[in-house]
Structure 1
Amino acid sequence: MPPKIRSESNQAGARPQNIQELAKIAGVSTATVSRALTGAGHLSPATRERIQKLAADLQFKPSTTARNLRIGRTGAIGVVVPIGHERTQHLSDPFFMTLISHVADRLADHGYDALLSRVVPSDVDWLDRIAQSGRVDGIIVIGQSDQALVLDQIARAYKPMVVWGAHIEGHAYRTVGSDNRLGGRMATEHLLAQGCRKLAFFGDPTVPEVEERLRGFRDALKAAGDGVAGALLPVHFVPDMALATISDYLGIADRVDGIFAASDTIAMMTIQALADHGRSVPADVKVIGFDDLEIARHTLPPLTSIRQDLGRGAQALVETLLALMRDEAAASVLLAPTLTVRASTASTPD
């Protein structure tokens, strides 16, 4: 027999502030109200319906925070961007903005808020403090920066974490990322196919993903054999710093005819620096970037780039994290890059 509910009039005329007050008005236990409003547990349909109607009539909305505390979850996922290698880099970087927006959308699809943090690591405990804060149910790390050892240490004790970036053999954390080495090789082979013979790689190889792109660059040069040459120029991701470094290099570089930039932002700065030096793209120098962000369509000339499917990557990040949160097995995900050809590497007539 369902529990009897008292008159559905609230003599005080005030909206109940918590389920205890609603339970008192309804003449039932707080557990019964909780089961009625959450749909959890065993309760007769008639009782559930009557309590839900009473809550609606009194305009009662249960506290999400209180409910999350009872069930041991926060409803938030930490989206963390560590800036260890490039301390002046900002979240306004087009790559970060694109991937973070995709991740936030996919988290919202599953009912989670994104708690965004840009972290300049000052010690080895920065990630542990986030994991143990009680503010998030899991962590998505955007980029490994130079923090692979910290990530590995935390992953051995804190399971619900997934990282965007290159998989490093022997490390405990799960990753989702593109095959950067393959992408680097594809970019370089494209430049070679366009007739480039003196190539340069612009990027910071202390970042694991960039290091893999550089390996692909070198793989393609080695396979091409004699008659080609390659140089490495370490370049910052911060646009103004990148522009200055590239400009200085172009002032002394001799006859470079193909440049593989480790990101679209660096490629944009490369095109600007070449123009400042009176060199035309693609007639004098062909330029290819990496990421294929929306900005690649709007450079002058439009930028050829290695495409990372960031939408698919964000979905894989969220799905992998949710599996780990359910204590399920989840493997790292490697996405295949593709080549998007635009005018910055177009062949020019003899």
Structure 2
Amino acid sequence: MRRFGTLSFGHYGPLGGGRELTAQDNLLQAIDLAVGMDELGVDVTALRVHHFARQHAAPMPLLTAMAARTKRIHVGTGVIDMRYENPLYLAEEAAALDLIADGRLMLGISRGSPETVVRGYEHFGYHGDDERGADLAARNLDLFLRAIEGEGIAERDPNSPFGGGRGMQRIEPHSPTLRGNVWWGAGSTETAIRTGQQGMHLMSSTLLTEDRGMPFGDLQAEQLAAYRAAWTAAGHAGTPQTSVSRSVFPITSQQDALLFGGAAGRDQVGVIDGFRSTFGRTYAAEPDVLIEQLRADRAVMESDTLLLTIPSQLGVELNLRIVESFATHVAPALGWHAD
């Protein structure tokens, strides 16, 4: 594990006891949390993106603000649902963000996860033939990758008073580092292999749409290995990178024990989005116990980056304490060190 960071779902709304976390609170706290983690030397802060829900939905303005307020931490998504995106507009936004962040972008994209609404992407104006929108996401991905690679997209107008010229015009702005900062969120080995073939980095979460009767960490480790083999077979330049996410809570105080002591559990198997799926466990224990548990998690140890899912609605101070506890008491034993 060379890098670690956080993945925030960005929930907001009623907190109980008459308290409420507003959308504005949620956004401003995400910026403050990124600044605090940057000071701690954490490598990545990523946002989960969901539409039609009280969660992060429009990541680009927020990530841009986070990048402008920080110096070294990577900002990113885990993941943007490509069924909802205009691929050319996303190419413009992502390039602008990558330039502002000076290459500190970890842009996670995917077909998307189950929603709170029926085919919400159709209300955004995008339609596909596949019931789950996989064909739509694939088409959008293809055009998005072509655009950020600098391919000419539209024919120049030789009669334009603004110097159109001849030939094909690429999308602007163009960031030369953006293509190498794109990650695909894969939920299965088949998707992971396709990600390697396409030359994107692999982002894998605490849910896999597979069940082969083995521990979640072993199943995910096989996914990572298949991805790396596919990248190598395709002959891509550079080094393939992988990330996994886990819910990890170091218990270092009585308050930690009260908040998270009952959160630890086992891997679970269920059905989601029509697939029999495996859900990863939550880790909550004293640091020495966590170290041994995470060392036994093959995917954590074989991945480049570990993203901790954090309860962002509980506030900046508590989440910074969770992250600092992990950075101080757990991460170094897994191979991480602050730059």
TM-score above 0.5, yes or no: no
- The TM-score bracket by the shorter chain reads under 0.3
Taking structure 1 as the reference length, the TM-score comes to: 0.26
Greater C-alpha radius of gyration:
1
1 or 2, which has the higher strand percentage? 2
Taking structure 2 as the reference length, the TM-score comes to: 0.27
- Structure with larger RCO (C-alpha < 8 A, sep 6+): 2
